[in-house]
Amino acid sequence: MHYFDNILTTALLGTEKRQLTSGELTPDLAELYEVIKENADLDNEEKFLQIASLGYNYRRCGFGLLKKEGIAEVVPHEEVNQYCSDDAIKVLEDILEEESDELLKLWLDLCLGKRLIVHPVLIPVLLSRAAKGKSCRNLIVQSCGKRGEWLINLNKDWHFLIKPEISEQDWGNGTAEQRRKILRETREKEPVNALEMLKTTWQVENANSRAELLKQLETGISDADIEWLESLLTEKSQKVKDEALRLLKMVSGSHILQQYWNIIKEAVQLKREKGFLGIGNKIIVHIQAPVINDEAIYKSGIDKLSKDKNTSDDDYILMQLIREVHPENWEEYFNSTPHEIIGYFEKDEKTKKFLDGIAAATLKFKEQNWALQFAKQSSVFYADLIPLLPVREQEQSIIAHLTATHQMLTWALSLKHEWSLQFAKQVIKLADEGIAQWLNGQYNFSTNHIYNNKSFYKLGIHLIPVELLTELKSRPQEGDPIVLKKWEENTGYLVKLLTIKQKIYKVFA
């Protein structure tokens, strides 16, 4: 045993129970201990403390080094991509200071677009951020390059940031999550192969796994899947049957949607009503109660009874059927354009309400043409269809139809494209009356309530065009200093974020 362990053992047990002997020490210390022990003025405890004190410094002065050759180096792979510029790093530091996820995403997108990576010094900060929140996680990992991967592998708290590489070879033995990913990715590239892949293992999957894997077929679903999906309607598991049916309702050619459409056709007809002496002939939509002979229809998710006292059971059933079928069916059936069809339904209050069903089907099948017609023509505004509209029509629809401020701001923030300057001004007008007044040349801040819109600007900075900066920066040169100060407070944060955004574009130009 090491001599200091003997000293420590004695200290732990106490000198009353254990006495340290010279034989437990090194020869140098043992010799000194013999001298100490001879000192009759000292009690046992102090004799021990004296030799322990000598042993303590003897130990400290004698620390040796561990010599090890051939220990594997811990170094990252060489980077493939170049580091971004120092200026870009400065902008990144500004973004991190402002804690703006949207600006960070923009910075990372542009950095990766230029095949550049982040300087190593900022990697831990970024990886910690990626570990705390999903936002920008993948972009951060990619932008940290090989050194980032290396650090992730060294820090077990970051391991989850890199998902192990998987390929089709792992289809048979991957984890449930990996297999779903493989099927989804194969489905995106080769839908038919993905289906065949699923078929090969179908018999050995349990019910839960079958239902979960089936969900992945939603991507790239087509008529080619119908036959197999319909064969699953006789499966034992209700979960699997429900999922198969849900998918079949997404394919126009499926038997179930054909059945729905046949019932609709029987119930809804386009009729030409004759006017006096042929003058004023008009086309109307004639609706009668749907006839359902097959009870299986009700088992496919169509309810028999209306939940609304103002809607008859027949109308309710018909509405549910219309929501499921593709809107293109109407074009062929009525031999009319979406514009004309919406017009026919709108003529009468009794038929107008069924446009809600066609609008829902438009959303379900992501029919852009129908969405545009609804936005242009319908007397009812279907906000859910906004994402299906072309970029500028989305902005126009929001301005034209949404009157409640919170609703408009929420939709404005949901847009996927950068706002036009005109739209940005409109949004900010609502978001901040103070700024709007400045933009309109009226800035009496002393009488207006000043909104704190920092969080709104933070959420929407990726949508606000940099061009707005010029107008916001043209500070009024004259006026009451208090008014000017309030103007700055109001615009200051937005100006700061827009300035950073402008710099992002500049450093990656």
Identify the helix (H) or strand (E) that includes residue 270: strand 268-273
35 binds another protein (CB under 8 A): no
Contact between 482 and another protein per CB under 8 A? yes
Q: Which of 2, 14, 160, 391 binds another protein (CB under 8 A)?
A: 14
**108, 172, 251, 462, 479 from 505: Cα distances, Å:** 11, 46, 43, 12, 34
**Rounded distance, CA 489 to CA 472, Å?**
12
Distance in angstroms (rounded) separating the CA atoms of residues 245 and 363: 19
Minimum distance between the CB of residue 10 and another protein, rounded to whole angstroms? 9
Residue 1 touches another protein, criterion: CB under 8 A? no
Q: Is 308 in the site for another protein (CB under 8 A)?
A: no
As a whole number of angstroms, the distance between CA 97 and CA 464 comes to 20
Is position 65 an interface residue for another protein (rule: CB under 8 A)? yes
67-75, 213-221, 338-346, 432-440 -> range binding another protein (CB under 8 A): 67-75
Cα 374 from Cα 215, distance rounded (Å) = 30
71 part of the interface to another protein, by CB under 8 A: yes
In whole angstroms, how close is the CB of 467 to another protein at the nearest point?
22
Cα atoms found within 13 Å of the Cα of residue 5, Cβ hemisphere only: 2
Please report, as a single letter, which amino acid is at residue 465. Answer: P
Nearest approach in angstroms of CB 148 to another protein is: 8
Amino acid at 432: D
Nearer to another protein, 132 or 309 (CB): 132
76 binds another protein (CB under 8 A): yes
Choosing from 28, 45, 196, 294, the residue that interacts with another protein (CB under 8 A) is 45
Residue 69 binds another protein (CB under 8 A): yes
Q: Encode burial over 215-252: b for 16+ CB neighbours within 10 A, e otherwise.
A: ebbeebbeeebbeebeebbebeeeebbbbbbebbbbbb
Binding to another protein in span 383-422, by CB under 8 A: none
Q: How many residues does the chain have?
A: 509
Element (H, E) at 330: helix 328-334
Q: Is 155 in the site for another protein (CB under 8 A)?
A: yes
The terminus-to-terminus CA distance of the chain in angstroms comes to 68
Q: Which listed residue (6, 30, 37, 49) binds another protein by CB under 8 A?
A: 49
**By C-beta, is 90 or 282 nearer to another protein?**
90
Task: Verify binding: residue 41, another protein, rule CB under 8 A.
Answer: no
| Three-class SS state of 284 | strand
Distance CA 298, CA 300 (A): 5
Residues of this chain, 77-136, that bind another protein according to CB under 8 A:
97, 120-121, 123-124, 127-128
Query: In this complex, which beta carbon is closest to another protein, that of residue 414 or of residue 499?
Result: 499
Pick between residue 152 and residue 359 the one whose CB is nearest to another protein.
Answer: 152
Nearer of residues 159 and 304 to another protein, judged by Cβ: 159
User: Which residues are near another protein by CB under 8 A?
Assistant: 7-8, 11-17, 43-46, 48-50, 52-53, 56-57, 60-69, 71-76, 97, 120-121, 123-124, 127-128, 147, 150-151, 154-155, 475, 481-482, 485, 488-489, 492, 496
